[in-house]
Chains A and B, each alone.
Chain A
C-alpha cells in the first residue's frame, strides 16, 4: 500500500513537471506507460499495427490534454487509461466494428514476437484462448479484467478508469474471472493446465 502511494507520488511529481513544460518529464511518462498502454490497446483492438498507431495517438492526446489533468484524487494512470479507452472506442466507431478481438489476429501478432517457434505457439495459444474467452464477457467485465490483469491497475485505479465504485469493480472482476474459468476449462482444447500447488 505504501509502495503504491509512493509510486503515485512519484508519478504526480512527473506530471506536475510535465504540466510546467519540462520535456524530460514527458519522456519519463512515455517510458513508464508506453508498454502498459500498448498491451491494453492490443488486447482491445487485436492488431499489432493498429495497436501501435493507437498507442502513439494516446500519448499525443495525453500531451494535448495534460494541462486539464487535476490532482483531485483521480490518479493519472486512470486518466491515461481513459484516454486510451476513448481512443480505442473512437477507432472502432470510425471503422464501424465492435471491440472484439479475432483469435487469428491475436495469434498473428504474437507469432511475430520472436524466433522461438515452440514457445510462441504455446504463448499464442494461451493468449488466443484468453482473448477469445474475454470476448464473451460483458463490455464492463472485459474492461475491468483488461485493466486489472493486462494493464496491471489496482482496484481503485480501475474503479476511477471505468467510473464505478470499488465494490462494483470487485464484483465485476469476480464475475468475469468465474466466467473466464468456465469458458477456459470446459470447451476442451483450451483448458488451462495448472500445476499442483505445493501446500
Chain B
C-alpha cells in the first residue's frame, strides 16, 4: 500500500465517519477511486449497521436513574481532600516512600549494629562492623594532629579488647589484637612526628616536630592515662589467672607496655640526646623465658 493511497483511505474513512457521502470522498481521489471504493463500501456498511443499533429508551432511562442516584450519593459524601497520600501522588509517592523507608531501615539497622558492636571483641559476630566503622572513620580527612589522636584512641580500644580477651583466656586472640594495638601506636607516633622503632640503630626516635608542643603534651597525657587504665585492668586480671595463663598474659601485656613506653618517652624527649632506647630487655623476654 503506497503512502499516498494510505493517506487517501484514511481521509475518506474519516469523512465517512463524519457522515460525508461516499461519492464525495471518491471524487477527491479520482486516481485511487477504483481501489478505494470497495474498501469504503465495507466501512460504510459497518457504519450503517452500527447506526441501526440504538439503545432501548426504557433501559436508557433506567440506567440514567441509577447513574443519577450514584451521582447524588457521590455529591452527598464528604469529598476527600487531595493529600500527599492520595492516589494522585501514589505513582510518584509510593516508590519514594518505599525508597526512603528502605534507607531508614538500613540506617537504623546500621546504627543498631554499630552501637551493638562497639563493645565487641575479635571472634564475635559483630566485630567486623566495629572494624569497618573504624576503617571508614579512618578515611575521613583529618589533620596529622587529629590522626594521631584518632590512632591513640584506637589503641585504647584495642587495649580494652585485649583485657577482655585475656579475661576470657583467649590469649592467642589477645596477642593478635596486641599487634594491632602496636600498629595504632606506631601510626599515632608517625602522625605526631615521632619515629618509634624497636631497633634504635636502624631508626632512632626523634622529637615531635610535626605537631605543636601543646598538642603533643595533650596527646602524651592521653596516652599515659590510657596506659594507666590498661595497666590497672590487666593487673587485676593477672591476679585472677592461673600461673600458666598468667605467664602468657604477661607476655602480651609487656609488649603493649613497651609500645606505650616508647611512644610516650619519644614524645617527651626534648633533644636527640634524651631519646629513649631502653626497650629491649623488657620487650622480647617474658618472665619464665
B14: which A residues are within 8 A, CB to CB? 154-155
* Shortest Cβ distance from residue B71 to the other chain A in the assembled complex, whole angstroms: 5
With A184-B45, A192-B41 as contacts: A56 and B26 at CB distance below 8 Å: no
CB contact between B70 and one of A63, A109, A152 (< 8 Å): that residue? A63
Question: Within the assembled complex, what's the spacing in Å between the Cα atoms of A27 and B64?
Answer: 8
Q: Is there contact, CB below 8 Å, between A21 and B37?
A: no
Interface residue? B30 (CB, 8 A): yes
B32 at the interface (CB under 8 A from A): no
**CB-defined interface of B60-76 with A at 8 Å, one 1/0 digit per residue?**
10111011101110110
Nearest CB of B to A9, in Å: 18
Interface stretch (choices B46-54, B102-110, B136-144, B254-262): B46-54
A45 to chain B, nearest CB (A): 12
Residues of A within 8 A of B66 (CB): 56, 60
Q: Is the CB of B23 within 8 A of A23?
A: no
A100 within 8 A of B: no
Q: A169–B102 Cα gap in the complex (Å)?
A: 43
| Interface status of B289 (Cβ within 8 A of chain A) | no
Is B46 a contact partner of A60 (Cβ separation < 8 A)? no
Inter-subunit contact B55/A127 (CB<8 Å): no
B5-13, B195-203, B265-273: which lies at the A interface?
A: B5-13
Residues of A within 8 A of B79 (CB): 21
1/0 contact trace for B177-218 toward A, CB 8 Å? 000000000000000000000000000000000000000000
B23 touching A198 by the CB < 8 A rule?
yes
Q: A90 at interface (Cβ–Cβ under 8 A)?
A: no
Interface SS, B side: helix
Task: Say yes or no for B124: interface residue by CB 8 A criterion.
Answer: no
A127 x B67 contact (CB < 8 A): no
- Residues of A at the B interface (CB closer than 8 Å) are 21, 23, 26-27, 30, 34-35, 38-39, 42-43, 48, 51-52, 55-56, 59-60, 63, 67-68, 109-110, 112-113, 123, 126-127, 129-131, 134, 145, 148-150, 152, 154-155, 170, 173-174, 177-178, 180-181, 184-185, 192, 194, 197-199
- A-B contact list, 27 entries, CB within 8 Å: A21-B74, A27-B68, A43-B50, A52-B59, A60-B67, A68-B87, A68-B88, A110-B52, A123-B49, A126-B45, A126-B48, A127-B52, A130-B45, A130-B46, A131-B49, A149-B47, A150-B47, A152-B47, A170-B6, A170-B10, A173-B10, A174-B6, A180-B42, A185-B38, A192-B45, A197-B22, A199-B33
Question: Which residues of B are interface residues toward A (Cβ below 8 A)?
Answer: 1, 6, 9-10, 13-14, 17, 22-23, 26-27, 30, 33, 37-39, 41-43, 45-56, 59-60, 62-64, 66-68, 70-72, 74-75, 79, 87-88
